[in-house]
Amino acid sequence: MTEIHLTNTRTRTKDPFAPLDPANVRMYVCGPTVYDRAHLGNARPAVVFDVLYRLLRHVYGADHVTYVRNITDVEDKIIDRARERGIGIDELTRTTTEWYHQDMAALGVLPPDAEPHATGYIPQMVGMIAALIERGCAYAAEGHVLFSVESYPDYGKLSGRSVEDMVAGARVEVAPYKKNPMDFVLWKPSAPDEPGWDSPWGRGRPGWHIECSAMSHALLGASFDIHGGGADLMFPHHENEVAQSCCAHPEGSFARFWLHNEMLQVEGKKMSKSLGNFFTVRDLLEGNWSGGWKVPGEVIRFVFLGTHYRKPMDWTEAK
């Protein structure tokens, strides 16, 4: 059998890949927050991990790979965008999810084997939060539930950051109910006009980080093979996933291999609406960008794959 080697963020080494169960190779990749069209930066991880998915299917067999990519359909950006447009949250997330599927299909991205929506796993999130409180790894305060970073000694090992860097990088809200500035939200209260669910801590909604931990555990178990995503998610999102998952399910190891793709630039500069170099996938497909011509999905994919996934990618008109 072909031997695959993967650069593992967790170990900082390129390691031979041996799945826990060759009959069920399991991979989880953080998917989109559905409030708008997918931009180029959103598309890069979808293409990168589509290539890995295809490779795993080729080596182990299409029926022996389980690829999970989630949809975040409850989040503050979604709430704000629905208010701006004067439409319901369900309508916004349904429409933008359809857009995402269409755009990724145009890039030749295969659909994952499972695509859990966060709103479909609220009971699992509540259960996981309750387990963390019971284990002394989380605490309730003023309608919120927060993870206690001090309860997980290995916090920071995935990203390789010092405590000082993490405090600066987390952009955490300074809240009086936090025991430690680094503690992060697992559950927060919802206003009457915001989506919310009943819980032991009052009506509210989950924090962003708990979503992926609950969905990956429900679909892949306490230990699985690969977790992927953009390098911008390494901290705090993936660091927080590791901490809460390992504390809630100490019987498992969570993800054994961590893979991160680097970021994307446009003509050598960070993609930004203020610089006028911000493109969605649909803009390129339909010619609504500075180049003015329609870019086939195959070309977008080809340009993406012309740069190694762990290197910053520069999208240029010349390419």
Structure tokens at 293: 């011509």
Adjacency order of strands within the sheet including 254-261: 65-69, 25-29, 223-230, 254-261
pLDDT at 181: 87
Residue 234's nearest CA partner among 160, 312, 127 is 160
Segment 261-266 shows an average pLDDT of 94
What domains sit in the chain, N to C, each tagged with a CATH number? 5-9+23-122+206-315 (3.40.50.620)
Segment 31-51 shows an average pLDDT of 97
pLDDT at 290: 85
Adjacency order of strands within the sheet including 264-266: 269-270, 264-266, 313-315
Rg, the chain, Cα only: 20
128-169: pLDDT as tens digits: 999 999 999 999 999 999 999 999 999 999 999 876 666 665
> In angstroms, rounded to a whole number, what is the distance separating the alpha carbons of residues 259 and 204?
32
Contact status, residue 276 vs residue 247, Cβ threshold 8 Å:
no
pLDDT at 177: 87
State the pTM of this model: 0.95
- Residue 111 backbone phi and psi in degrees, to 5: -65, 150
Give the model's confidence band at 88: pLDDT under 50 very low, under 70 low, under 90 confident, else very high: very high
